[in-house]
């Protein structure tokens, strides 16, 4: 260490809105880079690009054998469901991994507003979910010769974005749980399983028990997947606007619950001294 | 007005054990401590593991709520005015965790600059100056996962200074650093004081506290057992002397026997290679050498020497009193 002069002068304060935006965009992207080991090709390719294809193959062939539904039913359902994978795990890790690495207490000791701090972390995650889903959809559509009307491509893309967003909202709830429990990977897996069974991913909602399909109406993916299937079948974008709106509303609802829980659990962690417990 | 003011601060932890038959245990980590730190002062908090040092620091940087009592930093209450406190304090802890391994040193600092609201136009200059200051120039674009412990600790210091805090809390900052790195770090801490910062330092190293601190509070079992300048603390034991005996094969029975010798104030044992160093603090005028050697019957005795008490002797004695 060289004995040079100390850094001079207190930095001028950034205005609050600018600081909010910088934490949201720049901070969000940097924390995403900092926290996720899957940004290495050796993890990213098998986890996000190859394994979704295996799952789609499994359900398409099961569906064919059981004469349950068309190939496109499974391809669309499973491909969009895979958006939930990064959304749930990444958001859960934003707290659990930081706690593990003991960076969480340093982050929470800063005066940074919590809203952009945690919400900003969701932006790259939504993009991650979208890319995973689109890749799975395109590859499996080519494999099973599934075609969609050209006019449906953009609205389907929008449906995937909205589904990624709603799953990220639920992921924020999972992140908040990271302040109370050690392993959010466990809760991520449980939630992922619930979404797969309840949300009409591989089983038409009409064939589920009534209580399950009623529950599905309040879960992410249900309305978005239904909208995407209708678009692929030739429905107009305007006719699915209500379903996409419901999907968006559900996502925002979960995000609000997640942020409120984060606030409550952060206070609770100061009271119970649980921040650095790993 | 004091920069840090702590009044009757208490913190109790509740721990649970068992799954079916849960038992709850309350542990009093901090038991009603009082102290004040003035502007530009380097105040040391000294104590053994579990004494309550880190708990106190965590309350002062707003990461923990006290069970009772009050703590003010720069006049702001650490419970009610958390953001005002967070803006003006820096926190550095020892060890090699607490950094983003997959980011470079520069990106680690950039991220915390954003969180502390350092304006974009100042970030680059400031980060560059701090990287230079802590001796990481040339390595700042490498991922932290490849850094040595010393490099990580230096990066911690740079992070703690990013927002130019008025008060810096250093929780055992030199732990695990090689002697040269630790000396450089102590030099940096001295410079911080020269620049007008107020520093609260916890350390296990007595010579470090002796060299750096204006005042020291010795904390044991959650209570402050002594407070004063290093000189004042040393003077508490300066009327006596310390007998140091190098022993091979020292057993607990012999140590207990030494403790029972008249005129002995405290006894400590330190392992050094194959030998144990028995340090016996004796009251002024007490001739204890022969009596101590008689207690060591059966063990092999090496070098025997007497010396003046050090701050470490004062610490051992004070902590011993605090625990009893």
Residues 6+ apart with CB under 8 A from A210: none
Mutant choice from B90, B99, B114 vs A, greatest count of A C-beta within 10 A: B114
Given pLDDT bands bounded at 50, 70 and 90, which one contains residue A3? very low
What pLDDT score does A22 carry? 92
Q: Which of B61, B184, B195 sits opposite A1 (nearest CB)?
A: B184
Distance CA B188, CA A229 (A): 64
Q: With a CB-CB cutoff of 8 Å, which residues 111-130 of chain A face chain B?
A: 111-112, 117
Q: Which of B64, B161, B185 sits opposite A273 (nearest CB)?
A: B64
β-pairing, B300-307 with B241-248? antiparallel
Q: Are A121 and A262 in contact (CB under 8 A)?
A: no
Q: Are B131 and B122 in contact (CB under 8 A)?
A: no
Residue whose tokens read 């089983």: A203
Q: Which helix (H) or strand (E) holds B43?
A: strand B42-46
Least confident of A51-60, A82-91, B114-123, B227-236: B227-236
The larger pLDDT score, comparing residue B57 to residue B316, is at B57
CB-facing half-sphere around the CA of A199: CA atoms within 13 A = 29
Domains of chain B: 4-234 (3.40.50.300), 239-308 (3.30.70.100)
User: What average pLDDT score do residues B16-20 get?
Assistant: 74
Instruction: Tell how far CA B316 is from the center of its chain.
Output: 14
What pLDDT score does A9 carry? 41
- Exposed / middle / buried, residue B36 (Cβ in 10 Å: 0-12, 13-18, 19+): middle
What pLDDT score does B322 carry? 60
Q: What share of chain A is helix, strand, coil (3-state, %, to 5)?
A: 75, 0, 25
Distance CA B60, CA B202 (A): 13
Report ipTM for this prediction: 0.86
Q: Are A125 and A88 in contact (CB under 8 A)?
A: no
What pLDDT score does A13 carry? 60
User: What average pLDDT score do residues A257-264 get?
Assistant: 95
Distance CA B184, CA B134 (A): 9
**Furthest-apart CA pair in chain A: how many Å?**
76
List pLDDT tens digits, range B192-233.
Answer: 899 899 999 998 788 888 889 999 999 988 999 999 998 888
What pLDDT score does A2 carry? 42
Q: How far is B259 from chain A (nearest CA, A)?
A: 39
Given pLDDT bands bounded at 50, 70 and 90, which one contains residue A277? low
DSSP for A146-190 reads ----HHHHHHHHHHHHHHHHHHHHHHHHHHHHTTT-S-HHHHHHH
Question: What do you get for the CA distance between the two ends of chain B, in Å?
Answer: 35
Distance CA B115, CA A22 (A): 9
Q: With a CB-CB cutoff of 8 Å, which residues 88-117 of chain B face chain A?
A: 91, 97-103, 107-108, 110-112, 114-117
Beta bridge partners of B43: B200, B215
CB-facing half-sphere around the CA of A169: CA atoms within 13 A = 21
**For residue B267, pLDDT beyond 60:** yes
pTM of this prediction exceeds 0.90: no
Residue whose tokens read 């008025």: B166
Given pLDDT bands bounded at 50, 70 and 90, which one contains residue A47? confident
**HEC secondary structure over B144-183:** HHHCCHHHHHHHHHHHHHCCCCCEEEEECCCCCCCHHHHH
Q: Count residue pairs from A and B with Cβ separation < 8 A.
A: 133
Distance CA B312, CA A133 (A): 63
Distance CA A32, CA A91 (A): 10
**For residue A99, pLDDT beyond 90:** no
List pLDDT tens digits, range B270-315.
Answer: 888 888 999 998 887 788 899 999 998 888 999 999 888 877 777 8
**For residue A79, pLDDT beyond 90:** yes
Q: Is A112 helix (H, G, I), strand (E, B) or coil?
A: coil
What pLDDT score does B33 carry? 96
Nearest to A174 by CA among A88, A244, A55: A88
Given pLDDT bands bounded at 50, 70 and 90, which one contains residue A5? very low
CA–CA distance from A234 to each of A148, A151, A242, B283 (Å)? 8, 8, 16, 97
Distance CA A213, CA A204 (A): 9
Nearest to A174 by CA among A259, A270, A103, A101: A259
Phi, psi for A75 (deg, rounded to 5)? -60, -50
**For residue B138, pLDDT beyond 80:** yes
CA–CA distance from A199 to each of A3, A133, A223, B67, B169 (Å)? 62, 16, 8, 46, 50
Q: Which two tokens stand for residue B196?
A: 């007008």
Mutant choice from B63, B85, B130, B143 vs A, greatest count of A C-beta within 10 A: B63
Given pLDDT bands bounded at 50, 70 and 90, which one contains residue A278? low
On whether any CB of chain B is under 8 Å from the CB of A275, the answer is yes
The larger pLDDT score, comparing residue B274 to residue B37, is at B37
Beta bridge partners of B215: B43
Q: Which two tokens stand for residue A112?
A: 């940074």
Domain boundaries, chain A: 19-33+41-271
CB distance B102–A35 less than 8 Å?
Answer: yes
User: What average pLDDT score do residues A189-204 get?
Assistant: 94
Q: Are B100 and B111 in contact (CB under 8 A)?
A: yes
Q: Is B201 helix (H, G, I), strand (E, B) or coil?
A: strand
- Return the percentage of chain B with pLDDT > 70, whole number: 98
Residue whose tokens read 């094969």: B249
Distance CA A223, CA A251 (A): 11
Q: Are A47 and A53 in contact (CB under 8 A)?
A: no
List pLDDT tens digits, range A139-170.
Answer: 999 999 999 999 999 999 999 999 999 999 99
Residue whose tokens read 């030494």: B258
Q: Which of A23, A102, A270 sits opposite B115 (nearest CB)?
A: A23
List pLDDT tens digits, range B64-106.
Answer: 999 999 999 999 999 999 999 999 999 998 877 899 999 999 9
Q: How far is A79 from chain B (nearest CA, A)?
A: 30
Distance CA A85, CA A198 (A): 16
Residue whose tokens read 């940097």: A30
């Amino acid at each position: 260490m060289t004995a040079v002069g100390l850094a001079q002068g207190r930095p001028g304060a950034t205005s609050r809105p600018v600081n909010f935006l910088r934490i949201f965009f720049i901070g969000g992207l940097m924390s995403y880079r900092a926290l996720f080991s899957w940004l290495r090709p050796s993890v990213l390719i098998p986890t996000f690009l190859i394994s979704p294809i295996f799952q789609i193959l499994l359900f398409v062939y099961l569906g064919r054998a059981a004469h349950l539904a068309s190939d496109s039913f499974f391809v669309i359902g499973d491909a969009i469901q895979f958006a939930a994978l990064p959304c749930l795990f990444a958001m859960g890790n934003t707290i659990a991994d930081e706690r593990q690495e003991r960076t969480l207490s340093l982050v929470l000791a800063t005066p940074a507003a919590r809203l952009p701090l945690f919400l900003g972390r969701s932006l790259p995650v939504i993009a991650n979910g979208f890319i995973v889903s689109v890749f799975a959809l395109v590859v499996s559509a080519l494999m099973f010769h599934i075609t969609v009307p050209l006019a449906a491509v953009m609205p389907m893309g929008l449906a995937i974005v909205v589904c990624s967003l709603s799953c990220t909202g639920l992921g924020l709830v999972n992140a908040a749980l990271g302040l109370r429990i050690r392993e959010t990977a466990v809760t991520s897996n449980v939630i992922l399983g619930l979404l797969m069974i309840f949300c009409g991913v591989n089983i038409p909602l009409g064939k589920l028990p009534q209580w399950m399909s009623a529950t599905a109406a309040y879960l992410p993916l249900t309305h978005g997947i239904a909208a995407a299937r209708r678009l692929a079948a030739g429905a107009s974008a305007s006719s699915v606007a209500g379903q996409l709106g419901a999907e968006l509303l559900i996502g925002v609802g979960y995000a609000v619950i997640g942020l409120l829980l984060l606030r409550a659990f952060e206070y609770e962690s100061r009271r119970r001294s649980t921040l650095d417990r790993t | 007005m004091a920069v840090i003011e702590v009044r009757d601060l208490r913190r109790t932890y509740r721990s649970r054990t068992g799954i079916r038959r849960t038992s709850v245990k309350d542990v009093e980590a901090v038991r009603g401590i009082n102290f004040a730190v003035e502007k530009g002062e380097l105040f040391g908090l000294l104590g053994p593991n579990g004494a309550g040092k880190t708990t106190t620091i965590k309350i002062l940087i707003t990461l923990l709520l006290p069970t009772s009592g009050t703590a003010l930093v720069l006049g702001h209450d650490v419970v009610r005015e958390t953001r005002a406190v967070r803006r003006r304090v820096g926190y550095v802890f020892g060890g090699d965790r607490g950094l983003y391994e997959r980011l470079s040193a520069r990106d680690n600092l950039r991220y915390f600059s954003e969180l502390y609201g350092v304006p974009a136009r100042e970030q680059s200059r400031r980060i560059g100056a701090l990287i230079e200051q802590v001796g990481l120039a040339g390595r700042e674009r490498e991922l932290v996962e490849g850094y040595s412990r010393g490099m990580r600790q230096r990066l911690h210091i740079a992070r703690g200074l990013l927002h130019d805090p008025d008060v810096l809390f250093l929780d055992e900052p030199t732990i695990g650093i090689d002697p040269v790195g630790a000396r450089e770090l102590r030099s940096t801490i001295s410079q911080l004081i020269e620049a007008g910062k107020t520093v609260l330092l916890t350390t296990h190293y007595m010579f470090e506290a002796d060299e750096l601190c204006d005042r020291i509070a010795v904390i044991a079992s959650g209570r402050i057992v002594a407070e004063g300048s290093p000189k004042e603390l040393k003077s508490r034991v300066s009327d006596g002397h310390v007998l140091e005996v190098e022993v091979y094969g020292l057993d607990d029975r012999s140590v207990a026997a030494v403790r029972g010798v008249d005129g002995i104030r405290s006894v400590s044992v330190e392992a050094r290679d194959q030998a144990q160093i028995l340090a016996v603090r004796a009251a002024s005028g007490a001739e204890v050498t022969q009596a101590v050697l008689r207690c060591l019957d059966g063990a092999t005795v090496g070098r025997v020497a007497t010396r003046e008490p050090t701050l470490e002797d004062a610490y051992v004695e004070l902590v011993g009193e605090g625990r009893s």
